[in-house]
Amino acid sequence: MRRALVVEDDAHNAMLFRKLLEKRCGCTVTVTESVEDVLEACRGGAVDLVVLDVSLNNSRWQGRAISGVEICRMLKQDPVTAVIPVLLATAHAMRGDAEALMAESGADDYVAKPIVDHDGFVARILACLREAA
């Protein structure tokens, strides 16, 4: 069974991601906002996919606030975790945002919140998992 890590500070979004990933993608899901937990799980091989909110209100690293973009860069710059697909999720869905955020972060894909196209979200997740296999 595939393992997904959801890094999300909104309880409603986290619940929707969990339900879609578990029921439609067949993943076991862990939800966290802790940067330490993200790095430990990814470095330890316990993650096949990360769904990462861009704007995290409660995540801190080395005493300072950190964004999902920065966490993604950390994952993609580490040879151990760089192979894990990361899908950025954000409410910042203006034209051109996807390309800019993916270029800045190194993410594998991007989805706008709120997730209204559940089938499209599931298809993107499954594609990321297939490409990583």
- State the pLDDT at residue 95: 67
Q: If you write DSSP's letter for every residue of 107-125 in order, what string do you get?
A: -SEEEESS---HHHHHHHH
Task: Tell me how far CA of residue 126 lies from CA of 14, 25, 43, 61, 86, in angstroms.
Answer: 18, 7, 22, 30, 12
Collapsing DSSP to helix, strand or coil, 24 comes out as helix
CA 72 to chain centre: 8
**Global pTM value:** 0.94
- State the pLDDT at residue 93: 63
- State the pLDDT at residue 97: 74
Range list of H helices, 24-116: 35-43, 68-77, 97-105
pLDDT tens, N- to C-terminus, the chain (133 residues): 899 999 999 999 999 999 999 999 999 999 999 999 999 999 999 999 999 999 999 999 999 999 999 999 999 999 999 999 999 998 876 666 777 888 899 999 989 889 999 999 999 999 999 888 7
Task: Tell me how far CA of residue 1 lies from CA of 4, 49, 79, 125, in angstroms.
Answer: 10, 12, 24, 14
DSSP letter at 97? H
- State the pLDDT at residue 133: 75
Cα–Cα dist 5/110, whole Å: 15
The token pair at 2 is 């595939």
